[in-house]
Chain A
Amino acid sequence: MIVLELMNVTEIVLRLAAVAAILLITYVVAKLFSAILGRAMRGAPPLIVDQAVKTVSLFVWAVGLLLAVNQLGLNLDVLLVLLAVAGVGLIVAARDLLSNILTKVFMGTFIPVKVGDYISVNGFSGKVVEINHVATVILMEDDSIAAIPNSRFVKEVSVNKTSVAPQRISIPVSIPAKVSPPKAEAELLKLAYRYKSRLDQRFPPIFTIKNRGPNSVEGELDLLVADPELREALTAELSAKVKELLVRLEREVASK
């Protein structure tokens, strides 16, 4: 109040105008970020997208409000501390959810579990019918379902009873929008054919499209390694080759 008394009317008007401008910009930025995030997560479940958009929007508004308050010449220290405490509280509260989402990234590649497999984990056994961002859903023998939090797969021993599971390699592939997916797929298969001697020849490689985004088409190259001991080494080598191939294809398109 003392600060305000010292200001002349022009300064007050200017500061209020700056606050209004900041709030307007905050509104636009929040909308923009929400739209971008919504598009980027088009393939994700709507509930997750909704939560992510709300969190980002909240963050943008928090920053905007801080800047606005700062314009009014108020002390920000207490507000910043409160926000930091709230942020830490949020992370602590959502840590289980976050670890589940994070573990989903490794499912299939480093944790050999896929939809259709027969697995046993955390005392539950059955057929995997769904792997979502939070849990892996299995259909048990008595027709009941069990939702195993994904994070359990990094904390506990899971047993995959599917006959080909020890041999299976799934390489995530992100085909840039500029590259034709059918052509990229043909090149990916030809690349995989070169490793024929290391692979189980009863099962030729196969590529599956999983998601389509504005910037890329997400897919998976599935193969079966002949010797399970080579699984990790072959995954690493093929993943690197796939990346190189996609970069080359993108360059070829750009140069045309």
Chain B
Amino acid sequence: MRLAVCSQTPLIRVLSEGLSQRDYVDVGQLEIDRDYVFSPGGVTRMVYPLLLHMKSQNMAEDVYWVSLNPKAPPKMVYNGIKLIAVKVDESSLKSYGAVKEHMWRLFHGTADQSIPPLIELAWRDEYAYFNLYNRVCAETLFQLDKEEDLDLFYIHDFQQLPTGYMLQSLKPKIFRWHIPFDEKAIPPDWEPFLTKFLNAYDAIIVSCRTYLNTLVKRGYKGRAYHIYPYIDFSEYKRPGRAEVESFCEKFRINDDDFVVLLVARLDPLKGHDTAVKALAHLVKRYPGLKFVFVGNGSFSSSSKGLGLDKAGAWRAKVSEIAEVLGVSDKVVFTGHLPQNMLDAAYERCDVFILPSRAEGFGLVVAEAWLHEKPVIVSSAAGISEIVEHMKTGFIVDPNNVEEVAGAVEYLLVNEDARREMGVLGRRAVEVLSIERGLKEESEVLNTVAEGFQ
């Protein structure tokens, strides 16, 4: 099979300015962290292992990764995967980014009055540039197919939805919807607009069963699958004592602190403010409480990506809330952490929390389970579908600060419950193993590529 993946997120982010002048680059010849970094995020962490797996199992002979990468050379190769850069001029990219952010909030059901409904958004001049980005992707894929005679297109994430519709090819197309596809956020009057794009795909994969139901309800007629996102357990090592101590020293965490950890990019949706407010509820009675926030911006929301520095603004806002509530000395922002430090953070924490207002899935909960930690998960997160309330974790309403604080307090005072929940969570996480995910996903890809009978 010759497969082309298309995603806004590049597999590799090029750091070295001079590289964009070259026509072709073998990433193997470059130095990580100086010339390039591996893109963080759900799409790359899931799709990259899938592609490697398919190559190693001889299920895919050639694999291409087409993505937005303004600073990269047109063609690169990384570990046998051919990377094709999509280039869009800066002013178009700005409009594209603005529309994408609006859409993201609309699909997460968190848009305020300043954001128009989806259909109205599609009448704005900025939308023409959102459309332009998708057209450039579709044209790039079309050209690639002409040169390489591909067998399958695998397109990722909501902002790429029009790409499949625009791609003038009858070859099979699969779409992976990574964010929530929730009935409450997607009203029926969006249906004609959405289904036109959705029905351009032979198959659509969503992350949860509930999203699958909405997809069918909103008029999708093709094959629909739900596959839970997955992670490679072997990437998560239990850190040694020295690494944990080094983490604590760096972020001034004392031995007797009760650490509540939140790993998420800095974004209003992730509910850092809810966590701070819950902390304020508890801190007088439990002065040893400390909330640790790990994460920075995404490719879109950081100043190094699309230049929409949402992360910086949100950090300032959360800090301000903490200041007003008098808990700023109890809140630690670590920024982005390398894997060993992240493992140390998980190891050191007593409770993991994900109070997102909306969350496509929430693989960080799986990471906490791998470290046998009790979790408090928002009911708006896709992963709550597999959390057993009071057994493998707590499911809380992210808009109810008292409920969140109550869950933290329960775990704070019940050491046995924490331990038991951690053990049960470690068992529950098996359903999110990369082996299971790769098997299910490659089965779907094969079925679609071979054609439904």
Contacts and interface: CB of A to CB of B under 8 A. Distances in A.
B193 A204 contact: yes
A201 B123 contact: yes
Contacts of B43: none
A193 B193 contact: no
Interface stretch (A153-161, A165-173, A181-189, A233-241): A181-189
B92 A186 contact: yes
Contacts of A187: 128
A185 B135 contact: yes
A204 B119 contact: yes
B135 A181 contact: yes
B135 A182 contact: yes
A256 interface: no
Nearest to A182: B135
B139 interface: yes
Given A185-B135, A202-B119, A203-B192, A209 B129 contact: no
Contacts of A209: 166, 168
A193 B123 contact: yes
Contacts of B301: none
Interface of A: 181-183, 185-187, 189-190, 193, 196, 201-204, 206-209
Contacts of A201: 119-120, 123
Contacts of B135: 181-182, 185
A204 B132 contact: no
B125 interface: yes
B277 to A, nearest CB: 40
A209 B132 CA distance: 13
22 contacts: A182-B132, A182-B136, A182-B139, A183-B132, A185-B131, A185-B132, A186-B129, A187-B128, A189-B131, A190-B125, A190-B128, A193-B123, A193-B124, A193-B128, A196-B123, A201-B119, A202-B192, A203-B193, A204-B127, A204-B193, A206-B196, A209-B166
Nearest to B196: A206
Contacts of B136: 182
B189 interface: yes
Contacts of B196: 206
B189 A202 contact: yes
A133 B201 CA distance: 28
Contacts of A196: 123
Nearest to B168: A209
A203 to B, nearest CB: 6
Interface residues of B, number: 21
Nearest to B118: A204
Interface string B107-133: 000000000000110111101110110
Interface string B43-82: 0000000000000000000000000000000000000000
A190 B139 CA distance: 20
A225 to B, nearest CB: 15
A46 to B, nearest CB: 17
A204 B122 CA distance: 6
Nearest 3 Cβ contacts at the A-B interface: A204-B122, A182-B135, A186-B128
Contact of A189 (B120, B128, B192, B193): B128
Contact of A186 (B120, B123, B132, B192): B132
Contacts of B128: 185-187, 189-190, 193
Contact of B139 (A181, A203, A206): A181
A202 B122 CA distance: 10
Contacts of B166: 208-209
Contacts of A186: 92, 128-129, 131-132
A187 B139 CA distance: 17
Contacts of A203: 192-193
A32 to B, nearest CB: 26
A185 B166 CA distance: 12
A191 to B, nearest CB: 9
Contacts of B192: 202-203
Given A185-B132, A202-B189, A193 B125 contact: yes
A182, A189, A202, A206: residue with the most chain B Cβ atoms closer than 10 Å: A182
A209 B143 CA distance: 14
Given A190-B128, A206-B196, 18 more contacts: A181-B135, A182-B135, A185-B132, A185-B135, A186-B132, A189-B127, A189-B128, A193-B123, A193-B125, A201-B120, A201-B123, A202-B189, A202-B193, A203-B192, A204-B119, A204-B123, A204-B127, A204-B193
A71 B166 CA distance: 57
A223 to B, nearest CB: 11
B149 to A, nearest CB: 17
Interface in B212-264: none
A202 B120 CA distance: 8
A193 B131 CA distance: 13
Contacts of A206: 196
A204 B129 CA distance: 14
A71 B192 CA distance: 69
B92, B131, B139, B166: residue with the most chain A Cβ atoms closer than 10 Å: B131
Contacts of A190: 125, 128
A201 B120 CA distance: 8
Contacts of A208: 166
B124 to A, nearest CB: 7
A105 B445 CA distance: 40
A190 B124 CA distance: 8
A189 B119 CA distance: 14
Nearest to B129: A186
Nearest to A208: B166
A201 B92 CA distance: 24
A94 B149 CA distance: 39
A186 B162 CA distance: 14
A206 B192 CA distance: 13
Contacts of A189: 127-128, 131
A128 to B, nearest CB: 17
Interface in B291-330: none
